[in-house]
């Protein structure tokens, strides 16, 4: 039988081992700084980390890249931490598809990419990186930890490294003189908001994003004043929904 050709297309997601892991299914509510730090805390136990990258753009939220100094660390991290509950979600971990810039720079193979803003045609732009797709034969031995520990191990007893138990999605934002107000009725106007917030010392201005109803930014002269206002108005119901006030991201 000539079905061997099908072997070429193994079940997708087989990427050759490399020193960068790609993580997705991350909790998108976690602030970027917090997320990166937590990832660093978790994964630094598998080896030296060169860099942790995460972005909040639409296309890349909920994902992160952790670059290890050694590919072996990445392998261990995948084996041990895939499906690990992290901020109430199980992280999915794979090898990254492409080499990280930090690595390429150390390699000497780094070639700066241009941000294709223009439709400028460039000569000789064949970036077919011939990656010999040799499939390593260690596919389905014991990939994710559930297979290692039998089925469905008690999450609380998984021997993960650091004290990285599922953390609260709501990480405390650092104080800011600007407040971020959510859960407002969509018909709320800046005027209405102002009535509430302007009664607190140091009030400066309201900013609302037209494209995004239901939220507002309220600026005070300093953090003390914004904090007082936040505490005074936290949970205040404009119509029926309590407004949620946090410090704005810096």
Q: Which chain residues interact with DNA by CB under 7 A?
A: 13, 15, 20, 22, 24-26, 28, 32, 53-56, 58-63, 65, 67, 94-102, 113
Nearer to DNA, 102 or 248 (CB): 102
Residue nearer to DNA on the CB measure, 50 or 244: 50
Return the number of the residue (57 or 240) whose C-beta is nearest DNA. 57
- Sign of torsion, CA 75 80 82 87? negative
Q: Report in angstroms how near the CB of residue 38 gets to DNA at its nearest.
A: 15
Inter-residue contact 57 to 63 (CB < 8 Å)? no
Report, in Å, the least distance between residue 26 CB and DNA: 7
Q: By CB neighbour count within 10 A (0-12 exposed, 13-18 middle, 19+ buried), where does 39 fall?
A: buried
At closest approach, how far in Å is the CB of 107 from DNA? 11
C-alpha to C-alpha distances, 21 to 39, 57, 78, nearest whole angstrom: 11, 19, 8
Nearer of residues 15 and 144 to DNA, judged by Cβ: 15
Minimum distance from residue 140 beta carbon to DNA (Å):
17
Other CB atoms within a 10 A radius of the CB of residue 54 amount to: 19
12 or 154, CB closer to DNA?
Answer: 12
DSSP per-residue codes, 101-146: HHHHHHHT---PPP---S----TT---------PPPS-SSSS-SHH
């Amino acid at each position: 039988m000539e079905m061997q050709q099908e072997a070429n297309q193994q079940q997708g997601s087989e990427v050759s081992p490399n020193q960068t892991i790609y993580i997705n299914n991350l909790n998108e509510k976690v602030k970027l700084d917090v997320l990166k730090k937590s990832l660093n805390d978790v994964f630094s136990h598998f080896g030296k980390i060169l860099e942790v990258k995460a972005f909040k753009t639409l296309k890349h939220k909920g994902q992160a890249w952790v670059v290890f100094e050694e590919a072996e660390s990445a392998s261990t991290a995948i084996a041990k931490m895939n499906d690990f509950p992290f901020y109430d979600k199980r992280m999915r971990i794979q090898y990254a598809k492409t080499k990280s810039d930090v690595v390429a720079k150390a390699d000497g193979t780094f070639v700066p990419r241009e941000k294709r803003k223009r439709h400028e045609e460039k000569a000789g732009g064949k970036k077919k990186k011939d990656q010999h797709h040799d499939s390593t034969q260690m596919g389905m031995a014991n990939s994710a930890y559930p297979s290692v520990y039998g089925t469905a191990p008690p999450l609380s007893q998984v021997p993960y490294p650091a004290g990285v138990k599922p953390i609260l999605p709501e990480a405390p934002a650092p104080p800011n003189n600007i407040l971020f107000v959510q859960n407002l009725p969509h018909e709320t106007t800046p005027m209405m908001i102002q009535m509430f917030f302007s009664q607190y010392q140091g009030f400066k201005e309201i900013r609302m994003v037209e494209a995004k109803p239901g939220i507002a930014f309220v600026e005070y002269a300093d953090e003390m004043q914004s904090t007082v206002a936040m505490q005074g108005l936290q949970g205040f119901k404009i119509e029926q929904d309590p407004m949620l006030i946090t410090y704005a991201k810096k």
